[in-house]
Amino acid sequence: MSTYSINLETASWNATVGIMDLDKTFIGTADYMGVAYFWSHEFKHWLRSCTVVERRRVHSAWLRNGLSFDAGIDPTIDCAPHWEIVKRVCKSIRRDMKS
């Protein structure tokens, strides 16, 4: 495995937009990088504050468990399994929910 990484905090705005646009095409696949938003308003306030690594882990877990990325949009989808993964993966959410 490579130790190469891209520091998005130093990327230009155009580079950042390009990376986000590319990552949007990877939503729902194993290639998702953790940059683009894949969640609905239901999860917005929690997932946007997660790290890129945490987002990728949540996305991968949803994918691995066959969970729909339309949770929170489609009222017929139970969001409980999605929340279980988000709470388990994202440290900031676990900390905030305890207080």
The reply to whether 78 falls in a domain is yes
Compare 23 and 4 and report the one with higher pLDDT.
23
Ramachandran angles phi, psi of 7, nearest 5°: -85, 100
The residue that leads in pLDDT, 2 or 63, is 63
**Residues spanned by the domain of 48:** 13-98
Confidence of residue 5 (pLDDT cuts 50, 70, 90): confident
pLDDT tens by residue, 56-94: 999 999 999 999 999 999 999 999 999 999 999 998 766
Please check whether residue 32 lies inside any domain of the structure.
Answer: yes
Q: What percent of the chain has pLDDT over 70?
A: 91
Q: Reply yes or no on whether the pLDDT at 1 is more than 70.
A: no
| Residue 94 belongs to a domain | yes
Neighbour count for residue 19 (Cβ, 10 Å)? 16
Residue given tokens 């468990």 in the structure block: 65
Residue 4 lies in a domain: no
CA-based nearest residue to 64, from 85, 33, 39, 36: 85
